[in-house]
């Protein structure tokens, strides 16, 4: 019955999608976030949402870094950057949410156009550069939120031209972590975003010594929530290996593989030329994300949990990442192309795939293809 309803919803979305795609991407994004936030406030909705979340598929319930996720499918950082959706997402089958990326200073976002749709390439061009309300305002808002599923807070450095050194960037990031840690908000874990390709000053932490300094400063705070590092996917294997070797030396719970892709060689130029600035999401990220999940699992699988992210549009895409080493999955672009109920569709699809392959729980399938 539920499967039939989801098929009907998918087709309804297919019918309205061309109309939605006539509008500017950012306008539609804001509309959907407001709609979702409004829906969550409808009388009786919290009761219903809690029931949905507690009625999870047993083979998909998984515990990572001490947190129990009712479904392994979560929302990637950048969609709910103002924390409007934590109470709405379980309605669509999400097992966790990510708020942010948030920075110490508020930022109104890079110049327009900063969000473009590449329909034939099944991708978005993103050039927001950490548009956000700033850590204080976000935490103030989060104080009134009681998430139904685990909530992660993504933290990055303020996108300002006045910072020019790594030490300044580290102080800026540490400030946000300290504020979040002492705020009493109901977050379950942190993401440390070091891989945004759209910042105005290229202060980077890919080089081992710099990454080590940053991780030392962040973990010296003595955070009691686990930290996941949002990794780049445009770096070569040697750089990623060197980064992993630094990460495992610190009390870091895991990594997210990964962020947007700068390389535009796989998209249709007539589509992407309209948006000269920005990183790509969706299908262009998929293969490199998969390659790096395998690489990371082989190198650090026993130490770091992996959240697979990039180009997940179906249960098969998610399952492939899981078999390569991901314990959890995040997505954004699949949602835009395949509709808001995609997380639940994926969960039902994963249940069948696990059953087909004789796995009692998703944890049994993690890394099975990488070993």
Ligand X SMILES: Cc1cc2nc3c(=O)[nH]c(=O)nc-3n(C[C@H](O)[C@H](O)[C@H](O)COP(=O)(O)O)c2cc1C
| CA gap 303, 133 in Å, rounded | 34
Order of all β-strands in the sheet with 73-75: 73-75, 328-331, 305-309, 254-257, 227-231, 189-193, 151-155, 97-102
Under the binding rule (CB under 6 A), the answer on residue 176 touching ligand X is: no
Nearest distance, CB of residue 312 and ligand X, angstroms: 5
Under the binding rule (CB under 6 A), the answer on residue 232 touching ligand X is: no
Backbone angles phi, psi at 154, to 5 degrees: -90, 130
Under the binding rule (CB under 6 A), the answer on residue 193 touching ligand X is: yes
**In this structure, how many other beta carbons lie within 10 angstroms of the beta carbon of residue 74?**
25
DSSP code, position 228: E
Question: Which of 116, 254, 282, 308 touches ligand X (CB under 6 A)?
Answer: 282
Residues 293 to 312: which contact ligand X by CB under 6 A? 309-312
Q: Which is nearer to ligand X, 45 or 106 (CB)?
A: 106
Residue appearing with tokens 């130490």? 303
Nearest distance, CB of residue 309 and ligand X, angstroms: 5
Under the binding rule (CB under 6 A), the answer on residue 218 touching ligand X is: no
Specify the stretch interacting with ligand X by CB under 6 A; choose among 137-145, 204-212, 327-335, 348-356: 327-335
Find the angle CA(349)-CA(353)-CA(356) to the nearest 5 degrees: 140
Under the binding rule (CB under 6 A), the answer on residue 260 touching ligand X is: yes
Specify the stretch interacting with ligand X by CB under 6 A; choose among 14-22, 121-129, 170-178, 218-226: 121-129
Question: Which of 117, 128, 235, 264 touches ligand X (CB under 6 A)?
Answer: 128
Under the binding rule (CB under 6 A), the answer on residue 65 touching ligand X is: no
DSSP code, position 107: B
Q: The tokens of 28 are what?
A: 């539609």
Give burial (CB, 10 Å; 0-12/13-18/19+) of 217. Answer: middle
DSSP string, 115-161: EEEETTTTEEEE--SS-B--HHHHHHHHTT---SS-EEEEE-----T
Under the binding rule (CB under 6 A), the answer on residue 353 touching ligand X is: no
Specify the stretch interacting with ligand X by CB under 6 A; choose among 34-42, 45-53, 126-134, 246-254: 126-134
Rule CB under 6 A: which residues touch ligand X? 76-78, 81, 100-101, 115, 124, 126, 128, 130, 154, 193, 196, 230, 259-260, 281-282, 285, 309-312, 331-334
């Amino acid at each position: 019955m539920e499967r039939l309803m989801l098929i009907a919803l998918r087709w309804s979305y297919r019918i309205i999608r061309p109309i939605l795609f006539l509008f500017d991407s950012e306008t539609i994004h804001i509309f959907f976030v407001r709609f979702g936030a409004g829906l969550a406030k409808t009388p009786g909705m919290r009761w219903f949402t809690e029931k949905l979340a507690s009625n999870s598929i047993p083979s998909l319930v998984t515990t990572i870094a001490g947190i129990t996720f009712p479904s392994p499918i979560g929302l990637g950082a950048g969609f709910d950057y103002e924390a409007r959706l934590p109470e709405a997402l379980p309605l669509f089958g999400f097992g966790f949410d990510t708020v942010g990326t948030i920075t110490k200073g508020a930022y109104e976002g890079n110049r327009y156009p900063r969000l473009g749709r590449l329909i034939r390439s099944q991708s978005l061009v993103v050039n927001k550069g950490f548009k956000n309300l700033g850590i204080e305002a976000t935490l103030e808002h989060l104080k009134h939120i009681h998430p139904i599923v685990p909530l992660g807070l993504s933290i990055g450095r303020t996108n300002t031209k006045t910072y020019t050194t790594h030490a300044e960037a580290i102080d800026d990031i540490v400030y946000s972590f300290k504020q979040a840690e002492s705020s009493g908000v109901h977050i379950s874990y942190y993401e440390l975003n070091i891989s945004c390709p759209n910042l105005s000053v290229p202060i980077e932490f890919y080089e081992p010594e710099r990454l080590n300094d940053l991780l030392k400063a962040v973990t010296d705070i003595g955070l009691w929530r686990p930290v996941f590092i949002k990794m780049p996917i445009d770096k070569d294997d040697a750089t990623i290996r060197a980064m992993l070797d630094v990460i495992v030396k610190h009390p870091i719970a895991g990594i997210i593989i990964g962020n947007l892709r700068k390389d535009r060689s796989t998209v249709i130029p007539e589509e992407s030329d309209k948006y000269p600035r920005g990183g790509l999401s969706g299908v262009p990220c998929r293969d490199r994300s998969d390659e790096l999940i395998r690489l990371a699992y082989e190198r650090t699988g026993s130490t770091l949990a992996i959240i697979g992210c990039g180009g997940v549009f179906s249960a098969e895409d998610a399952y492939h990442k899981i078999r390569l080493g991901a314990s959890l999955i995040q997505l954004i672009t699949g949602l835009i192309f395949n509709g808001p109920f995609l997380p639940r569709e994926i969960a039902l699809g994963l249940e069948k795939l696990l059953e087909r392959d004789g796995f009692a729980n998703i944890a049994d399938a993690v890394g099975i293809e990488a070993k």
